[in-house]
Amino acid sequence: MSMMFHKNRASSHTSKQTLQFLKKENLNFIDSDEWMPKSPDAGPMDFGNWESLNAVYRSVTITLL
């Protein structure tokens, strides 16, 4: 099985320890500079699923506040 990790600019992904570990373990990763920004193919949760969930929650009226 082949896997590839996606790193974004989160501090836990960019720390020296993380970068050293990735290199030492020879793990494949896509750096944030190589990632396609604002692409539905790259981040389906951002473009498809979250929008569907938001539509459901926008239609709900909250009465217990």
Q: Based on the number of CB atoms within 10 Å of its own CB, is 58 exposed (0-12), middle (13-18) or buried (19 or more)?
A: exposed
pLDDT at 48 over 70: no
**Tens of pLDDT along 9-40?**
778 888 899 889 888 988 887 776 776 666 65
Residue 21 lies in a domain: yes
CB 6, CB 28: distance < 8 Å = no
What is the extent of the structural domain holding 34? Answer: 5-58
Q: How many domains does one find in the chain? A: 1
Residue 63 lies in a domain: no
3-class SS at 62?
Answer: coil
Instruction: Name residue, tokens 């969930």.
Output: 53
Among residues of the chain, what percentage have pLDDT more than 90? 6
Instruction: Name residue, tokens 């990735």.
Output: 22
Identify which has the larger pLDDT, 48 or 30.
30
pTM for the predicted model, two decimal places? 0.43
- pLDDT value of residue 17: 93
Q: Based on the number of CB atoms within 10 Å of its own CB, is 13 exposed (0-12), middle (13-18) or buried (19 or more)?
A: middle
